[in-house]
A and B are shown apart, each in its own frame.
Chain A
Amino acid sequence: MNDNFDDLIELSDFYILSQKFEEAIKVLKKAEKINKVVPKLYYNLGIAYEALSEKVQARDSFRLALKIDPNFKSAQEHLDKLIEE
């Protein structure tokens, strides 16, 4: 089956909102194989990792989101919070 990038991101939103963070990470990893330059992909990864208290991966993901979009405010806020913890 051909995965559509946007569908995978949407599915990750659904999984995150359903508190199925591990499933969200799985689909986001799939999405990453299709497109590596979308900040929301890494933001969602950061959110899912942070929800699982995987702080190192969460920090790395938010950094990647900010590398693509340095003005991504929510990613910056999460990164700042994780660094100060």
Chain B
Amino acid sequence: MKQFVVIGLGRFGSSVARALGEKNFEVLAIDRDEGRVKEIEGIVSQAVVMDATDEKALRELGIADFETAIVSMAETIEDSIMITLALKELGLKQVIVKANNELHSKILRKVGADRIVFPEREMAEKLAESLASPKIFDIIEVSKTHGIIEMVAPKKLANKTLGDLKLRIKYNVSVIAIKRKVPYSKPNGTTDFKEEVIIGPGGSDELIPGDVLILLGNYDNLEKVKKL
């Protein structure tokens, strides 16, 4: 089972620790603040009040046995740099660090951080994207040129089969899945719907209004499909 150590239990760190704990991974959560540590006890495998800048204490805690560390102490830049350096020296394979700004990120790279995250910036970009294109729900970057997007099927495509639409031939875009709301009648007389996912739909599958398509393709081609 994967083991994680989360250092810094502010909003981001505690959310990561909580999410990993709820997925039943082994999680060691560390913070200087006793209150923060108490809040996460019982959700993670172990929660410890400790100054993580103390390399000796980290070593004694057996941190070197963990595969991945998440350092979430962006408010105290110096501490996050020191901890990252210590974790890499202890031999952790993957150290993920929350950064505050570009300079912070640059220094973290130099001291060996394997991945740097800007949660607020990433969230802000996603929110901006969703506001700019309300019919695009998600974008996953596969490479610099290709991605997977989740979008509401353009009206023009409704009531046609994938075979008729020939998205692959015309745009070199693959429909990986279709998310569909399937209505049903509840015992109290109201209608509701449940979501059904059609994985790897075939040419005979017909799109209905409101279907959400998961598409894989080159960004330029995906853009063309978005504009249909």
Chain A residues proximal to chain B, CB less than 8 Å: 13, 16-17, 19, 21-22, 40, 43-44, 47, 50-53, 55-56, 74
**Which DSSP category, helix, strand, loop or mixed, fits chain B's interface?**
strand
Determine how close the nearest CB of chain A comes to the CB of B63; give it in whole angstroms.
Answer: 35
Question: Do the beta carbons of A53 and B210 come within 8 Å of each other?
Answer: yes
28 contacts between A and B (CB under 8 A): A13-B191, A16-B183, A17-B183, A17-B185, A17-B191, A19-B181, A21-B209, A21-B210, A40-B190, A43-B190, A44-B191, A47-B183, A47-B191, A47-B192, A47-B193, A50-B193, A51-B209, A52-B152, A52-B209, A52-B210, A53-B135, A53-B152, A53-B210, A53-B212, A55-B134, A56-B134, A74-B186, A74-B192
B residues near A16, Cβ cutoff 8 Å: 183, 191
A residues near B134, Cβ cutoff 8 Å: 55-56
A residues near B183, Cβ cutoff 8 Å: 16-17, 19, 47, 51
**Which DSSP category, helix, strand, loop or mixed, fits chain A's interface?**
helix
**B-side interface residues, number (CB < 8 Å):** 17
Chain B residues proximal to chain A, CB less than 8 Å: 134-135, 152, 181-186, 190-193, 208-210, 212
Give the A-B contact count at a CB cut-off of 8 A.
43
Determine how close the nearest CB of chain A comes to the CB of B189; give it in whole angstroms.
Answer: 8
B residues near A55, Cβ cutoff 8 Å: 134
16 additional contacts (CB under 8 A) given A17-B183, A53-B212: A13-B191, A16-B191, A19-B181, A19-B208, A19-B209, A40-B190, A47-B183, A47-B192, A50-B181, A51-B181, A51-B183, A51-B209, A51-B210, A55-B134, A56-B134, A74-B190
With both beta carbons as reference points, the residue of chain B lying nearest to A55 in the complex is identified as B134
B residues near A44, Cβ cutoff 8 Å: 191
Instruction: Tell me, in angstroms, the Cα distance from A13 to B135 when the chains sit together.
Output: 25
Give me the 7 closest cross-chain CB pairs, A-B, nearest first. Answer: A52-B210, A53-B152, A51-B181, A51-B210, A16-B191, A17-B183, A16-B183
Determine how close the nearest CB of chain B comes to the CB of A30; give it in whole angstroms.
Answer: 18
With both beta carbons as reference points, the residue of chain B lying nearest to A18 in the complex is identified as B183
A residues near B184, Cβ cutoff 8 Å: 17
With both beta carbons as reference points, the residue of chain B lying nearest to A47 in the complex is identified as B191
Instruction: Tell me, in angstroms, the Cα distance from A43 to B210 when the chains sit together.
Output: 17
Instruction: Tell me, in angstroms, the Cα distance from A50 to B183 when the chains sit together.
Output: 11
